[in-house]
Chains A and B, each alone.
Chain A
Amino acid sequence: MTYRSGQDRRFTYNFFERFGGYYGGTLNEFRVRANYRPTAKFSISASETWDRFRLPLPNGNFSVVLASLQGNYSFTRFLTFTSLFQVDTSNTQAVSANVRLRYNYRPDSDLYVIYNVGTQFASIAPANPPQVRETRFAVKWTYSFAP
């Protein structure tokens, strides 16, 4: 079940709810998302998802919350900068940030520059120190000989 606001507006929002059987148990999921697009070049969105699992397993009753904040800036339709900040409460209680630059310099050929920072906590409580911190920088270049 989905409800969406007027999609031709700069500010849009939507709600999504589903409930049903899931691997012998049930899953109840609710999502909310808001987008703001002041210009074609810049947009920002925030979303949150709640998943409530009831599974016929030991410790099968649990919830996962996933929240994200994303910002995008497109210099042209071939060059885009994207940043994503995400928090979830699944097993590792992770927080991560991702920034990515994509340059589509010719058809089917791209250059990506990606930077990731991720941290896992024992729980989301403020007193818990970070358990694992991962930082990754990647450059990916593809070239298609076909065009």
Chain B
Amino acid sequence: MAKKNTPPVIELKGLKKRYGIGDAEHFALDGVDLTIEKGEFVTIMGPSGCGKTTLLNLLGLLDHPDDGDYYLEGTSIKHLSRSHQARIRSDQIGFVFQSFNLINRLNVIENVALPLTYSGMFRTKRLQKASEVLKNFHLSEREYYMPWQLSGGQMQRVAIARALVSSPSIILADEPTGNLDSKASHVIMEELSDIHKRGNTIIMVTHNPDLTTYASRVIHMLDGKIASDSKTPRELKKTVKKVSLGARHEEAKTAKKTTRAASKKRKTTKAKKK
């Protein structure tokens, strides 16, 4: 899916994030190198505290790396001002959270239209666009409901619609099904899968190994490092090997088959691309 001559959507080089000082100092991210091309559906897995969420926050410009480089669509974000970063968040990044984070006093359509406020769109146009997006999620008849009148699955669909409304280049999802039952989870995953098929780039953090079946690429993290990085079988069938992943692909594939948690098998630790 990656077109030649276009820079990857995300390129990380030796990204580090440190928390605490002195004795308590530890690296939430300890030198992460990662390239994500346009149109990939990446799941990031790993035990609690391995740095998944930190990575997602850094990707979403909510946090700043202590070391290393982050290129978003070919531009380094290192020296961007705060307001410029806010601008990027509004134009290029869509967030989906575990706890939906809808604003309770705004109705569904206004919640969806919220990101467009900050890109300076007028209200009528904003609501029009939000309505269009909601139609895709079969929520048209719920436009004027308040968030508390919706089920968990519906709320998350509204939140996904909100993430999509400004046509971002990446969608970052932090445990999007974490608060949902399995039925609703699958509905949400189908939605995300759908969005992926339409050509969107999705990066999702999850604990649930079942959900990796929807993804095109699975990354396992351990102690702030990428422990394994593999294409899912489904993806392997239809895509050509990527140069960036090189010959280690087969190894990673085997690892995927034998165990769900790469962390348990140390042999795959070098699977990350250089």
A binds B: no
**A interface list, Cβ under 8 A from B:** none
B residues near A (Cβ < 8 Å) are none
